[in-house]
């Protein structure tokens, strides 16, 4: 490749590189810089170098004797965020895989209709969808009314402002992100392979485990990443469904930039969240690249 061709390609890529620099890398750099500064008196930052923001992510110092202890609150929120994100991913997979299989096995003329139904929730605002779930599980909501009418319970169940409520809300919100990539993988599946496994006396479970799942695995991994990443940084759903009892990382970051007025800590937490997402994406890349190498081998 000669120099003129190289320059031409760089010029063609210049608009997209500029957009990435201005709207992605530059803001991230500002957040990173803020994480090494000193909190201002009423928010903002003082341009004095400090590592207290990063120190406070997992540790806290006693105001009386300066003893250092692990920040139980931050660690609990971090573990809750990871746990609920993993649970959301698993729950959406449990419901999303059969849904995607059902759509993919419909006649070709009907699949568009079922996909249309799956994408309808994207037409509404995330806040509206979350409030809809809230109306279903609150004390006077649909679920409790049905259970009371059937005589299963004597008094309404308290489901709001719990980890269960947050999990249910996020699973509902992010379910389409699991269904669509899994459907794309199943649609490419050659169903003659399943028929061949049945001809060789394989059970349905064995066929699912050894034939179907390995071939649709890329779609499952892609859907899992698409669900896990936004779940980890979710803010609206945990704020509404969990209240102040089931706070997640997104809520903690917002609190530091708001009423906490500790922007360096908020920035450090934001970078921590970004690193967690980066680890998940690296894991996804290694899994998919390893799978391709084994297939070519």
Give residue 295's pLDDT: 55
Rounded to whole angstroms, how far apart are CA atoms 193 and 213? 12
Coil, helix or strand at residue 41: strand
Which tokens in the block code for residue 211? 């034939």
Q: What is the pLDDT of residue 49?
A: 95
- Over the chain (297 residues), the average pLDDT of each successive run of 10 is 79 87 89 94 90 92 84 92 95 95 92 91 88 90 91 89 93 94 92 85 85 89 92 92 87 91 94 90 75 54
- Would the pTM count as exceeding 0.85? yes
What does the H/E/C string look like for 73-131? Answer: HHHHHHHHHHHHHHHHHHHHHHHHHHHHHHHHCCCHHHHHHHHHHHHHHHHCCHHHHHH
Look at the chain and count its residues.
297
Which residues pair with residue 45 across a beta bridge? 39
Supply the DSSP symbol for 68.
Answer: E
φ, ψ at 61 (rounded to 5°): -110, 130
Check residue 206 and give its pLDDT: 86
* Whether 119 contacts 176, CB under 8 Å: yes
- The C-alpha atoms of residue 205 and residue 208 are separated, in whole angstroms, by 5
Q: What is the chain's percent helix, strand, coil content, to nearest 5?
A: 75, 5, 20
């Amino acid at each position: 490749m000669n120099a003129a061709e190289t320059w031409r390609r760089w010029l063609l890529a210049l608009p997209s590189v500029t957009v990435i620099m201005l709207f992605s890398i530059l803001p991230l750099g500002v957040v990173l810089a803020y994480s090494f500064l000193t909190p201002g008196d009423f928010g903002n930052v003082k341009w004095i170098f400090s590592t207290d923001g990063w120190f406070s992510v997992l540790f806290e110092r006693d105001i009386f004797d300066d003893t250092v202890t692990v920040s139980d609150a931050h660690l609990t929120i971090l573990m809750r965020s990871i746990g609920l994100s993993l649970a959301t991913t698993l729950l959406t997979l449990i419901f999303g895989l059969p849904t995607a299989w059902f759509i993919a096995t419909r006649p070709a003329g009907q699949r568009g209709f079922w996909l249309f139904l799956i994408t309808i929730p994207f037409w509404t605002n995330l806040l509206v969808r979350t409030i809809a779930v809230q109306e279903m599980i609150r004390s006077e909501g649909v679920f409790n009314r049905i259970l009371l009418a059937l005589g299963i319970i004597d008094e309404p169940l308290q489901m709001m402002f719990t980890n269960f409520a947050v999990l249910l809300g996020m699973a509902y919100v992010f379910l389409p992100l699991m269904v669509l990539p899994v459907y794309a993988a199943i649609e490419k599946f050659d169903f003659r392979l399943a028929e061949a496994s049945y001809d060789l006396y394989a059970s349905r479970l064995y066929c699912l485990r050894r034939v179907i799942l390995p071939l649709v695995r890329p779609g499952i991994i892609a859907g899992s990443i698409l669900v896990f990443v936004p779940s980890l940084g979710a803010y609206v759903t945990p704020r509404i469904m969990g209240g102040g009892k089931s706070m997640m990382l997104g809520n903690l970051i917002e609190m530091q930039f708001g009423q906490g007025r500790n922007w360096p800590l908020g920035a450090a937490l934001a970078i921590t969240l970004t690193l967690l997402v980066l680890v998940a994406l690296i894991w996804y890349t290694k899994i998919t690249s390893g799978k391709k190498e084994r297939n070519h081998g």
